[in-house]
Amino acid sequence: MRWSFRLVTIAGTEIKLHVTFLFLVAWYAFAAWQTGGWPAAQTSVLFLLLVFVCILLHEFGHILMARRFGIRTPDVLLSPIGGLARLERMPEEPYQELLVAVAGPVVTLVIAMALWGAIQFTGGTAEIAAFDPGRESLLPALFRLNVVLLAFNLLPAFPMDGGRVLRALLVRRRGMVEGTRIAARIGQLFAMGFGVIGLFTSQILLFVVAAFIYLAAEAEAQAVATRAAGRGVTAAGMMVTDLRMLRVYATLEDAVKLLLAGEQREFPIVDNDGRLEGLLTRDDLVRGLSTVGPTATVGQVMSRVQEPLAPATPFDTALERLRASGLPALPVVNPERQVIGLLTVDNITDLLLVRRHVPGLP
Ligand code: ZN
């Protein structure tokens, strides 16, 4: 299942919506409908759309600040814990990350102050403290939300903004990998705290938020460690070169023999000149045996390889393409499109394991 989908593109940044955000809208609308009927449900949805705009403005604070340092933002994901702007790369200097992290909360602060001014102007100050969902006017509700958003974002719970500030400070002393690891652990401690509170006060949303923070912290710490371990490595440096291939007219029976003869699980399929035609995975083989039988050719059941890797493809890109391909391995080809190696998830894992313990190897 896809967990997010694209909404619009603004200034080169895709706005993506996490499906749980829709659950949130539905949940609020339903709750309001139960107490106040359709008018209340409509007000709730309008309120959430405005919330959505506030969060987006907050994210564009990050995005525009990052752009000042020459970093583009391909997409921003809106989820119940707010937005996550996925920067093209992390700022190199800790002070840049600090400024990028602070820019979002500054926007939220400005919004909150503007709303406060508007409420003062319209004489609705008394409504700020009163909470009556579905009936109260929008401005005080929106003001309160932005204050909560601001406070929440400033908690040092990585990967939220406050946590990023903390990470930037830690990185200066401990380096990127270690600094991120510590910030992520602190973020996860916060997440566990939120989770427990959410559980005991039966606030499902808080529990969901906690789970999000926990997983996001883990994912980011992993990603940083992986990037650091793979620095300076290219596809040629990671690929398996001692490998067997199959001609496109070989039969599935031939493939079975090859599969049983060794440890290799995926076989590049090549033409007579060794040029890439496709990749036969173990799944392709098993599926082929049951659908077209052992005498069919591997060409009939192999997976297409949209974009094989070049030897000089850097580690980051290779990993990303391997993940995006949905295949367990990607062939590495020379400029003539002849297969010279195979990059598998297994050998990347091995490489990372070795390099994490002995930096600089192989
Ligand atoms: Zn933010």
Contacting residues for 193 by C-beta, under 8 A, at least 6 apart: 210
For ligand 1, an ion, list residues with CB under 5 A: 104, 161
- Ligand 1 centroid–CA 105 distance in Å is 6
3-state secondary structure of 114: helix
Q: Which of 1-5, 118-122, 142-146, 220-224 has the lowest mean pLDDT?
A: 1-5
Left (φ > 0), alpha (ψ -120 to 50) or beta: where does 192 sit?
alpha
- Ligand 1 centroid–CA 152 distance in Å is 10
DSSP H helices in the chain: 19-68, 94-122, 138-154, 161-174, 176-200, 204-229, 235-238, 252-261, 282-291, 298-301, 315-325, 345-357
Q: How buried is 248 (Cβ within 10 angstroms: 0-12 exposed, 13-18 middle, 19+ buried)?
A: middle
Catalytically annotated residue among 59, 127, 220, 277: 59
Residue 134 confidence class, pLDDT cut points 50, 70, 90: very low
Residue 88 confidence class, pLDDT cut points 50, 70, 90: confident
**Cα–Cα separations (whole angstroms), residue 6 to 2, 3, 84, 281:** 11, 11, 14, 31
pLDDT digits (tens, 9 = 90+) for 28-62: 888 888 887 887 788 888 888 888 889 889 999 99
Q: State the virtual CA torsion across 214, 217, 324, 75 in degrees, nearest 10.
A: 100
What does the alpha-carbon distance between residue 44 and residue 52 come to, in Å, rounded to a whole number?
12
pTM over 0.85: no
- Ligand 1 centroid–CA 114 distance in Å is 19
Confirm whether 92 is a catalytic residue: no
* Residue 246 pLDDT: 93
* Residue 332 pLDDT: 93
- Ligand 1 centroid–CA 58 distance in Å is 6
- Ligand 1 centroid–CA 83 distance in Å is 7
Neighbours of 93 (CB within 10 A): 13
- Ligand 1 centroid–CA 153 distance in Å is 6
- Ligand 1 centroid–CA 278 distance in Å is 43
> Is the CB of residue 156 less than 8 Å from the CB of residue 178?
no
* Residue 236 pLDDT: 86
Distance of CA 243 to the CA centre of its chain: 33
Taken in order of first residue, the domains within the chain and their CATH numbers are: 4-229 (no CATH), 235-357 (3.10.580.10)
